[in-house]
Amino acid sequence: MLPVLIEKVVYKHINKSLLEKKEKFICNLDKQEINDFIIRNDATETYSSFSTLHSEFLQLTRLPKKALIHETIFITEPRIIEEERNDYMILQYDFIYEKKAYRLEIGNSLSEIKELTFTIRFFILIVLFIILAVTFLMDTFYIEYLLKPFNKIIDTKIRRVNEPDTFDHTPINSHSTDFQELDAVLNQMMDRISELFNKERQFIANVSHELLTPIALLKNKFENLLQNNSLDDNAIDKIASSLKTLDMLKKVINNLLLISRIENNQYEANETIDLKELLNNLHEDLKDRMDEKGLTISINLQHNFPFIGNKTLIHILLYNLMVNAVKYNRKNGNITVSDRFLKEKYYLSISDTGIGMNESQASQIFNRFTRINSDQEGQGLGLAIVNSIAHFHHIDIEVTSVPNEGTTFTLLLSNSRKLN
């Protein structure tokens, strides 16, 4: 667009200057000069003159008498002047002087113009780039400056806040009222969230107290009742089964409380955990149950990975996985605990040789109150807890299972992801 425009302007300018030259020449053209031309009367019947560098030329030719007389026209064509070929913009003007026809041609070299347009184009291009660069830089810095409070709000008020308790209420300095408003609204929102958090926490504490206290009473009453020597076997059985039910009730409540407290971030995760030691302790705890089923366990951990998290919770997580490996195993089966390091990530696998699951079962196991086999005991909360704890610690869990062959739970642990 621009180069075309420039070319047009330049051509127009040349045409204009050619016309001016023509006028000047015609005006100054008098008898004498024509006579000069006539007297010379040489064979070519041409008078021409040109500038030293051939950028311009002027040529007067006598035309045959009967040649067509036409007015001023502009043409562009190559001419050879002193064996140098050039493109010229030529003004042709035919006229009659003393009954003789003449053609006046005034040419202006186009090579110069082409050079000129090229230079202009180049110059414009450079200017364009400079403007572009300057605008870009200006914009970047200006926007950076403008959005500084915004980024600060994002950073200090949202990204770094995992807990409403740690929220910083100090207002962020900003020249713009928009950001001040955003800041204020965020503060309000966080106030509401932390109020809800506190209410929930209070609620959990109340529920545990209000539900577990009566359970404690019943349990104690039944236990005291059991000491009565006049009870017959039937009564003892009933008391024993009531105690079992109470125990189940207690554990369901405690498990639900545990999940809800994990999901409320009521735990800290800043202990360094020796997984090897933890697994060996679990092995000790579960030894009786494994012996009862004749299970063999091999814990071969090749790597030392000090995981940072909450020790109590990780203990519960591994305990639940190990208990599952025991519970759903076949008699005289195996449990294998192994690990590997891959791309800065630590993989811990617990495999059993148990009943396994099909795919649709495997996809449901982390939901609360799901049980794969109705004949198995338990409330289906174990793996829901595993899931909550894993999520809390940013641990990924992978389950692979083949029915009647076994199940493998793989934990993907990494310390880096907790940092953001």
Q: Which residues bind another protein (CB under 8 A)?
A: 204-209, 211-221, 223-224, 226-227, 233, 236-237, 239-240, 243-244, 246-248, 250-252, 254-255, 257-258, 261, 266-267, 285, 288-289, 291-292, 312, 316, 319-320, 323, 377-379, 381-382, 385
Rounded to an integer, what distance in angstroms lies between the CA atom of residue 100 and that of residue 116?
40
Instruction: Write down the least CB distance from residue 180 to another protein, Å.
Output: 38
Q: Name the minimum Å distance from CB 231 to another protein.
A: 9
Secondary structure of residue 26 in the 3-state scheme: helix
Torsion (CA) 116, 122, 128, 129 in degrees, nearest 10: -160
Which backbone phi and psi does 310 adopt, to 5 degrees? -100, 120
Least distance in Å: CB of 342 to another protein? 32
> Of 79, 106, 77, which is closest to residue 18 (Cα–Cα)?
106
How many whole angstroms from its chain centre is CA 113? Answer: 51
Q: Toward another protein, which CB reaches closer, 324 or 407?
A: 324
Instruction: Enter the tokens of residue 7.
Output: 């070319």
CB of 370 to another protein, least distance (A): 13
Q: By 3-state DSSP, what share of the chain in percent is helix, strand and coil, each rounded to 5?
A: 55, 20, 25
Q: For residues 117 and 407, which CB has a smaller minimum distance to another protein in the complex? A: 407
Q: Which is nearer to another protein, 256 or 395 (CB)?
A: 256
* Nearest approach, Cβ of residue 357 and another protein (Å): 20
CA pair distance 63, 140, nearest whole angstrom: 69
The least CB distance from residue 252 to another protein, in Å, is: 6
Give first-to-last CA distance, the chain, whole Å: 51
Buried b (16+ CB within 10 A) or exposed e, 48-86: eebeeebbbbbbbbbbeeeeeeeeeeeeeeebebeeeeb
Apex 357 CA angle, 316 and 411, nearest 5: 40
- What is the DSSP track for 76-107? EEEEEETTEEEEEEEEEEEEEETTEEEEEEEE
Q: Which is nearer to another protein, 316 or 397 (CB)?
A: 316
Q: Which is nearer to another protein, 120 or 239 (CB)?
A: 239
CA distance 224 to 235: 13
In the complex, what is the shortest distance from the CB of residue 197 to another protein, in angstroms, rounded to a whole number? 15
DSSP-based three-state secondary structure for 143: helix
The least distance separating another protein from the CB of residue 314, rounded to whole angstroms, comes to 13
Contact 148, 172 (CB under 8 A): no
Q: Which residue has the tokens 């006028």?
A: 23
Query: Which residue number, 114 or 289, has a Cβ lying nearer to another protein?
Result: 289
**Residue 323 CB coordination number (10 Å):** 16
- From CA 109, how far away is CA 111, in angstroms rounded? 6
Minimum separation from the CB atom of position 245 to another protein (A): 10
Q: Which is nearer to another protein, 97 or 222 (CB)?
A: 222
Nearer to another protein, 200 or 396 (CB): 200
Residue listed under structure tokens 């369901």: 252
Please state the closest distance from residue 207 (CB atom) to another protein, in A. 7
